[in-house]
Structure 1
Amino acid sequence: MRIGDLAVETGVSRRLLRYYEEQGLLRPRRLPNGYREYTDADVAAVRHIRALLAAGLPTTVIARLLHCFHDDDGGRIVPAACPGMVTHLRRERRRIAETIERLQTSQQALDTMLATVLTTVLTTRRSGGTPGS
C-alpha cells in the first residue's frame, strides 16, 4: 500500500508517517519510482507507535523498543520481554513522574498567586477603592 492508503488505514497524516520514517520507526520498501510501499505490518507498527507515544515515550526510546511489541489474538498490543525494556520503561516512568512533580509545584505556586490576587481584589472592592491604589 502507498502512504495515502496507510494514512487512511491508521488515521495518521502522511506528514507524520514521513516523520516516523525519519525517526527510524517505519522502514517502507522503496519502489523503483521512489514511492514508498507499506505492508500490513506497518499498519500494526503505526498503532504500536501511537500507543507508545500516548504512554509518554519519546521516539528515540520507541525506536529501541518497537520490535518488542506485537498484537495478541484480540488485537491488543502486548509487550514481549526484550533486553533492556524494563530499564527503558522504568527510566521513562521516572522522567514522567519528575515532570508531573514539577508541574504540580508550578500549579501550587499559581494557585497561591491567584488566591492572593483574588483576595486583594475582593478587599479593594469592599473598601470601595481600586486595585493598586
Structure 2
Amino acid sequence: MRIGELAERTGVSVRSLRYYEKQGMLSSQRSASGQRHYDEHGVSRVLLIRQFFSAGMNSKTIAALLPHVKDPGERCPPAVLRQLTAELDRIDAQAEEIARARRTLADLIRATQEAMRATRTSE
C-alpha cells in the first residue's frame, strides 16, 4: 500500500509516517519512481508506534525497542529487557498518578454538585 493509504488506515499523517521512517521505526520499499510502499505489517507497526507515543515514550526509545518487538516470544537481550522493564515501571507510575488525579477531579465534581443541590434545597 502507498503512504496515503497507510495514513488513512492508521489515522496518522503522511508527515508522521515519513518521520517514523526517518527515525528507523518504520520501513518501506521504494518503487522505481521513488514512491513508498508498505506491506500489511505496516499498519500494526504504526499502531504500535502510536501506542508507545501515547504512553509517553520518545522516538529514540521506541526506535531502540521496536526491533525486539517483532516476535513477542523471542528473547530480548538483557539491556533491552532492562529498558522494557524501566518503561513499564514508568508507565505504571504514570497510570497511578492519573488515577489519583481522576479521583481528585471526581471528588471535586461530586462536592460541587452536592453544594449546588444544597443551595437549591435551601432556597
Would you call these one fold, judging by a TM-score over 0.5? yes
Structure 1 residues 69, 45: closer, same or farther in 2, change over 3 A? farther
Q: Looking at secondary structure, tell me which structure has more strand per residue.
A: 1
State the structure with more CA Rg: 1
Say whether residues 1:109 and 2:104 are aligned partners: yes
2:122 corresponds to which residue?
A: 127
Match of 1:24, SS state, is: coil
1:106 positional shift: 1.1
Q: Deviations over 1:54-111 (max 9, x none)?
A: 35373322211222233xxxxxx53522322221211111111111111111112112
Q: Which has the higher contact order (CA 8 A, sep 6+)?
A: 2
**Alignment-mate amino acid for residue 69 of structure 1:** V
User: Which protein is richer in helix relative to its size?
Assistant: 2
**How many residue pairs end up in the alignment?**
117
* Residue 80 of structure 2 is aligned to residue 80 of structure 1: no
The aligned counterpart of 1:65 is 65
**Kept in 1: contact 2:31–2:37 (CA 8 A):** no
Tell me, in whole angstroms, the C-alpha distance in 1 between the residues paired with 2:73 and 2:18.
25
Deviations 1:23-42 (A, max 9, x none): 22124466675x244454xx
Give the TM-score of the pair, scaled to structure 2. Answer: 0.69
Q: Please tell me the root mean square deviation across aligned C-alpha atoms, in Å.
A: 3.0
Amino acid in structure 1 at the alignment position of 2:74:
A
CA contact (8 A) 1:45 1:66 kept: no
Mapped contact 1:29–1:37 kept (Cα < 8 A)? yes
Structure 2 residue runs without a partner (length 5+): none
Identity %: 26
